[in-house]
Amino acid sequence: MTAARILLLLLLALPARAEQPQVDLSALLQRIAAGTPGMGYLVQQRLQAMTVTSVSEELDAQGRATHTWERVRRMAEQDGKQESELLRAVDDGQDVTAHKRAEAERRDAEQAKHGDKASSFELPFTPENQPRHRFSMVGPDAQDPTKLRLRFEPASELGPQVMQGEALVDPRSGHVLQLRFSPSKFPSMLIDRMDVEMDFRAHPGVGAVLSRLGVEWEGGLLFFKKRGRSTVTFEDVVFKPAPAPAPIGLHAAP
């Protein structure tokens, strides 16, 4: 028996690979927009309280940490206003909570006086952000074929809220499970590279919610280059009930 015939028999003996069902990308994007609410909406409309732990590291050329900063905050809404309490601050292994708490109180008061202009990443799947992106199907996830991978990139304009990267999603629930991306335009001219990774956790009655944010970056001026990474985790998250839909007004006929 020739080698070609042996190979043919082996191929015929393999089980037939089940074809993946066709996915309507437009319908999937609508499910994701509903199943994974934007972070701006969650913070402004639904968030009651959460504990935020951040660990930031400055790295040397070999990727080893030379300095480490840890912060733990408890955020909660009181009388319709978001309050933030610094629970722990550690710099290079030294507890500096009392000193940093006083600094944080002064900074929070200044932000309340002049307005907090800090920005954060918004998801590319929100109804407002979807038109800024072009989406394409990568295919089923290699480890779990019931999950899908989507690629996204700028549709036209570039900006800090316009991303390029890949998402792992559950097509049935519309939940985003993981995002990996880089902003199409960095928020600062001093940044040369920024890689972001987000992990999500399902919350009943809310949807997929960010549970971990990781950022690696490098940049600086001329020969004064720096590298760093940060990991932020969100725990003990409490959400308020969803607001009731506005009643439909009745208008008298003219």
DSSP character for 249?
Answer: P
Please answer whether residues 90 and 69 qualify as being in contact, where contact means their C-beta atoms are separated by less than 8 angstroms.
yes
Cα 222 to Cα 188: distance, rounded to the nearest angstrom: 15
What pLDDT score does 116 carry?
47
Residue count of the chain, please give it.
Answer: 254
Cα 155 to Cα 162: distance, rounded to the nearest angstrom: 9
What pLDDT score does 7 carry?
47
DSSP character for 80?
Answer: T
DSSP character for 245?
Answer: P
What pLDDT score does 243 carry?
77
pTM, rounded to two decimals: 0.82
What pLDDT score does 49 carry?
97
Strands 207-221 and 175-183: unpaired
What pLDDT score does 82 carry?
84
Please answer whether residues 85 and 109 qualify as being in contact, where contact means their C-beta atoms are separated by less than 8 angstroms.
no
What pLDDT score does 121 carry?
77
131, with CB counted inside 10 A (0-12, 13-18, 19+), is exposed
Please answer whether residues 152 and 164 qualify as being in contact, where contact means their C-beta atoms are separated by less than 8 angstroms.
yes
Torsion of CA 195, 169, 237, 122, to 10 degrees: 50
Per-residue pLDDT of the chain (254 residues; tens, 9 = 90+): 565 565 445 445 555 444 445 789 999 999 999 999 999 999 989 999 999 999 999 999 888 999 999 999 999 998 888 889 999 999 999 999 999 998 887 877 666 555 444 446 789 999 999 999 999 999 999 999 999 999 999 999 999 889 999 999 999 999 999 999 999 998 888 889 999 999 999 999 999 999 999 999 999 887 788 999 999 999 999 999 987 765 555 444 44
Cα 191 to Cα 189: distance, rounded to the nearest angstrom: 6
What is the widest separation between alpha-carbon atoms in the chain? 90
